[in-house]
Structure 1
Amino acid sequence: MLDVHRLRLLRELDRLGTLAAVAKALNYSPSAISQQLSVLEAETGARLLEHVGRGVRLTAQARILVRHAEVILERMELAEAELAASMTDVTGTLRVASFQSVMLALVPGALSRLSAEHPGLRVEITQAEAGPAFAGLLARDFDVVLGECYPGVPEPALPGVDEEDLLEDELRMVIPTGGPWHRAKLTDLAEAPFVFDPGDTITGRWARQICRSAGFEPDVRFQSPDLLLQLRLVETGHAVAFVPDLLWTGRTPGDLELRHLPGRPRRRLYTGVRSGSAEQPAIRAFRAALQLTARV
């Protein structure tokens, strides 16, 4: 009988591409991964890996196993979810990856609800951007990921991920009150300094495209994914930023001006879990707590 753990290693090699990447993701040594895959070759009686330069690639037989491994791993999670659902209490540890604005606005309220309703559930949360977070989800480092989708920047659906919409969040321009850009429209800000997320991120690309659509290339003097730092630079009169409305949950803009962007763009926020784990009681409880908090 084939060993499920070794099948998972083969599946991770197909997903990540190198033995070193698999070893890093799963906290093994590359030699240990190689040894386990050699055992899998012996179990199957088929050659699974071909050496190419200093690396390896999967054979056609290995890709057959990978397709079945996906199904097997999903069915195992479904079995675990059904077993957990048959029990009365929601317990265990739930590992969540979230980005900053959701952690600031929604996660504390959701944790309070969960603490009151399911005191036996331990929730561990890591701040992470969507790309690394979803890679961690598929590698089983996380159980739930908070994702976002920006208008005009479509993201293909990830195979094996169950998505559930959370809310739509308007994105606005925020400018210092009383400075040279007081009451300015976006088209008036060709000479203004901006603070955006780095240009190699989805949010950074989206922000720059908004300015280009308004007819100018933005003067991006500051780059940071930290929304609180972005706000601080605006508050002190050094920059203009584009921020989500969710950031104002539990706080007020103060001395900042919030102005609508052309077309009033909104980002889509959602939760993502592995398809086989969507019915896990802990995941259902966390999603429900987030939904209730988002509606308040």
Structure 2
Amino acid sequence: MTDWDLRKLRVLRALSELGTVRATAEALCMTPSAVSQQLSSLAQEVGTPLLESQGRGVRPTEAARVLLRHTDTVLAQLERAEAELEGFTRGEAGDVRVGAFATAIPQLVVPALNTLAGERPGLSTRVHQADAAEVYELLAAGEIDIGLSLAAQAPAGSDGRYDRSELLADPLDVALPAGHSWARSEQAPRLADLSAQGWIYGASGPWREITLAACAQAGFVPEQAHVASDWRAILDMVAAGMGLALVPRLAAAGHTPGVVLREPAGDRPRRHVIAVVRAGAGEHPRLVAALDALRRTAVGLDEENVQFS
């Protein structure tokens, strides 16, 4: 297969339009000898003459006209490719893959990606539900571009592998059985008031760390009555009087019969929703656009949480 040189094809195209080597040289800012060398080399590559004399000038041979017809198709396709690549350069085209834990998807990820679709219709998005700890593995494997994770505290310091930034400080409410004395009280409980109660939380992962950190800040270590990480299961167990739980506001959308949510007095515990990208990747225009949409959506949720409080 011939290794085509687009510069030589462009020279042939110009000569077919202008009719002389000199005019072609002037139009392409080349010397006449350079034009002749390019055309001679192209003829050797295709194995057939490409020019024939016509008066004081030259004209394309029949073989050259076939080649030019295909050249026009190739050059037009390359123009379209350049136009499409400009969309990638400006962040208006490409793929954005977001990995997120379940409770972040309905209120944060979905609205943000809907906003992004309206602003950058050329971007294609894909959501990958994953545990908060798992998004780091997915990022390292190149399976997602942006990960949403959780932390007990806002990011501090640097990690050479990832760039992290806080999107949202999600308030934690106490889930109480409807018949609990603090559920019926006009006064909101402090977490310390509930230190003797049994608590329901996961066996490992960020959510266990967040629960332990919130209780530690209130001055006690929670007694784990049951181990669970699914919010539906946790709230059902609370409704059945099997224990208490700290529930993030993003996870508590909708009413659960038999459960009362109270914001702890004084303590105001939070879990921090973190956006994570591979180090340096956040400078890609498409990821800049997606992160901006996530941050704007998070600001709206922050404002709603203030009103709820």
The normalised TM-score by structure 2 is 0.58
Tell me how far 1:292 sits from its aligned partner. Answer: 1.8
Residue 177 of structure 1 contacts residue 257 of structure 1 at CA under 8 Å; is this kept in 2? no
* Equivalence for 2:179: 178
Q: Secondary structure at the match of 1:278?
A: helix
For residue 172 of structure 1, what is the amino acid of its counterpart? D
* Equivalence for 2:227: 223
Instruction: Tell me, yes or no, if the aligned pair for 1:96 and 1:123 is still in contact at 8 Å.
Output: yes
Q: Please give the alpha-carbon distance, in whole angstroms, between the structure 1 residues aligned to 2:156 and 2:198.
A: 29
User: 2:198 aligned with 1:193, yes or no?
Assistant: yes
1:48-197 to structure 2, matched below 5 A, reads: 87=89, 90-151=92-153, 157-182=158-183, 183=185, 185-197=190-202
- Give % identity: 28
Structure 1 195/291 Cα, relative in aligned 2: closer, same or farther at 3 Å? same
Deviation at 1:105, TM superposition (A): 1.8
Secondary structure at the aligned position of 2:289 is classed as helix
Give 2:283's aligned amino acid.
E
- Match for residue 61 of structure 1? none
Shift, 1:275, TM fit: 2.4
Give 1:110 deviation, angstroms.
Answer: 1.1
Cα gap change, 1:178 to 1:92, in 2 (>3 Å): same
Kindly indicate whether the alpha-carbon contact (under 8 Å) linking 1:234 and 1:256 is maintained by their aligned counterparts in 2.
no
Partner letter of residue 147 of structure 1?
Answer: S
Matched, 1:290 2:294: yes
Partner secondary structure for residue 138 of structure 2: helix
What secondary structure does 1:285 align onto? helix
**Deviation at 1:236?**
3.9
Cα RMSD of the aligned pairs, angstroms, is 3.0
From the superposition, tell whether residues 268 and 185 of structure 1 become closer, same or farther in structure 2 (CA, over 3 Å).
closer
Structure 1: which 5+ runs fail to align?
Answer: 1-82
- C-alpha distance in 2 between matches for 1:179 and 1:211: 19
How far apart, CA to CA, are the structure 1 residues paired with 2:274 and 2:213? 23
The letter of the residue matching 1:242 is L
- Deviation, 1:205, is 3.2
Bigger-Rg structure (1/2): 2
Alignment map for 1:236-251 (pairs within 5 Å): 236-248=240-252, 251=254
SS in 2 for 1:130: coil
CA distance in 2, matches of 1:256, 1:169: 18
Q: CA deviation at 1:241?
A: 0.7
Match of 1:158, SS state, is coil
Cα distance in 1 for residues equivalent to 2:125 and 2:111: 13
The DSSP-based 3-state class of the residue aligned with 2:133 is helix
Residue matched to 2:285: 281
1:284 Cα offset (Å): 1.4
Cα contact 1:181–1:189 (8 A) shared by 2: no
TM-score (norm 1): 0.60
CA offset digits 1:73-98 (Å, max 9, x no partner): xxxxxxxxxx7676456222222211
Deviations 1:4-43 (A, max 9, x none): xxxxxxxxxxxxxxxxxxxxxxxxxxxxxxxxxxxxxxxx
Deviation per CA, 1:37-78: give whole Å up to 9, x if none: xxxxxxxxxxxxxxxxxxxxxxxxxxxxxxxxxxxxxxxxxx
Is this contact kept in 2: 1:171–1:242, CA < 8 A? yes
SS state at 1:194 partner: strand
Distance in structure 2 (CA, Å) of the matches to 1:86 and 1:257: 46
Cα offsets for 1:108-155 (capped at 9, x unmatched):
11121122222332222222233321122123222111122204x987
Question: Structure 1 residues 209, 111: closer, same or farther in 2, change over 3 A?
Answer: closer
Query: CA distance change for structure 1 residues 213 and 94 in 2, over 3 Å: closer, same or farther?
Result: closer
- Pick closer, same or farther for the CA change 1:228–1:155 going to 2, 3 Å: farther
For these two proteins, the number of residue pairs brought into alignment is 211
CA offsets 1:205-231 (integer angstroms, 9 cap, x no match): 342354456565534232222223322
> Is residue 196–residue 222 contact of structure 1 (8 Å, CA) maintained in 2?
yes
CA contact (8 A) 2:115 2:293 kept: yes
The 1:139–1:155 alpha-carbon spacing in structure 2 relative to 1, beyond 3 Å, is: farther
How many angstroms does 1:204 deviate by?
A: 0.9
Residue by residue over 1:242-286, the C-alpha shift from the partner in whole angstroms, topping out at 9 and shown as x without a partner, is 12223345x467751313165322232221112232122221121
Q: Which has the higher contact order (CA 8 A, sep 6+)?
A: 1
